[in-house]
Amino acid sequence: MSRPICLLGFLIAILVTSVSQGADESVFAIANKAYSENRFQDAADGYQSLLNSGHWNASLFYDLGNARFRLGDFGQAILNYERALALDPRHPEAEANLHLARDEARALEMRRDTLERYISMATVKQYSIAAAIGFWLAIFVIAQLFLSRPRSVGRIALLALGILVCGASIFGILLG
């Protein structure tokens, strides 16, 4: 008796999935048709409803960006092109349209100064590893300086290097 109930539940799940998938495909087709007929607000609404239902992909964000661009809503167009690129960094159309939308909107891009460019060269994880290495290097050199009598300039320089690496890495973590 439980086997037919499981089979019935499985069939109902497949039916619900296929109906919702078919409905999503029809919403996408309607939005594409609205876009091709220059009804950009209807197209944007259709694409947005698909995104709200959890169907995120680069092409959908790209299409929504195109509809928003045609409506003159350059901020939303730029946002959606950037979302498309976040999901698919190798989306050449989204990259090209993003530049076009920024030029059209005359959007300002903040330029990073030299320090910020150098800090962004490494990730937080890399800075954390460097900080840990510098810290432990400094600890071991300090222990060796206290345990051995002849204190050499090389050991003191190694201590300074460890402290410098640790401090610079922590600075990179805080600014990165």
SS3 137: helix
pLDDT tens figures, 36-75: 999 999 999 999 999 898 888 888 999 999 999 999 888 8
Tokens of residue 150, six digits: 């002849």
| pLDDT score, position 24 | 60
* Domain boundaries defined on the chain: 2-105, 114-175
For residue 47, how many other CB atoms are within 10 A of its CB?
28
pLDDT of residue 138: 93
Entry pTM = 0.51
Q: Which CATH architecture has domain 2-105?
A: Alpha Horseshoe (1.25)
- 13 pLDDT band, cuts 50/70/90, is very low
DSSP codes, 83-136 = HHHHH-TT-HHHHHHHHHHHHHHT---PPP-HHHHHHTTS-HHHHHHHHHHHHH
Q: pLDDT (tens digit, 9 = 90+) per residue, 84-139? A: 988 888 888 988 998 888 888 776 666 777 887 788 788 889 999 999 999 999 99
Tokens encoding 69: 């661009």
